[in-house]
Amino acid sequence: MRPSPLPAGPGQESVWDYPRPPRVDPSTELVEVHLGGEVIARSTASLRVLETSHPPTYYLPATAFAPGVLRPTSGHTWCEWKGRASYVDLVTAAATAPRAGWSYPEPIAGFEALVGHIAVMPSLVDACFVDGERVVPQEGGFYGGWVTSRVVGPFKGVPGSWGW
């Protein structure tokens, strides 16, 4: 059963207005990822993947990451929309976040813009920020959405939301 969407206020987006299949939108917001006490990625040229019931997932250009931070790791998953995901560990001198980043080197048609971009699971790093606002990780541990005051839900990932 579909939940009742919360009303979006001025300057907000309802995730229930996002499409299915998802859409890729360019973003000029300042996006930062912190790990081990340092900023490991910073970009004003990210991509947001927007899907019904999900907060946006931000994909940063691989070139936005500090040298040596991205370490390819084993294993893959499959997304019905984007295809086969490959994973990276995020590594600094002070911390390692196993499988905290993923990419789509050969995405399904319609998602080619994601090539060369890395998404980060906000719950696995010290912090993520969008235009200076600290991100709240999407609940549930399976999805990588970035919750900010700009979006309203309810968001998939909470208990009982698997069938949304």
* pLDDT tens digit sequence for 67-104: 999 999 999 999 999 999 999 999 999 999 999 999 99
Q: What is the pLDDT of residues 102-161, one digit of tens each?
A: 999 999 999 999 999 999 999 999 999 999 999 999 998 889 999 999 999 999 998 888
Decide: helix, strand or coil at residue 151.
strand
DSSP codes joined into one string, 13-64: EEGGGS-SS-EEEEE-S-EEEEETTEEEEEESSEEEEE-TTS--EEEEEGGG
User: Hey, what's the torsion of the CAs at 20, 120, 157, 21, to 10 degrees?
Assistant: 10
For domain 16-151, the CATH superfamily is: Domain of unknown function (DUF427) (2.170.150.40)
**CA distances for 117 relative to 42, 53, 85, 108, 154, angstroms:** 13, 23, 11, 15, 27
Closest CA to 118 of 52, 73, 55: 73
**CA distances for 127 relative to 5, 71, 74, 97, angstroms:** 27, 19, 24, 12
pLDDT at 1 over 80: no
Closest CA to 31 of 20, 43, 39, 19: 43
Task: Report domain extents, the chain.
Answer: 16-151
Scanning the structure block, which residue is given the tokens 């906000």?
122
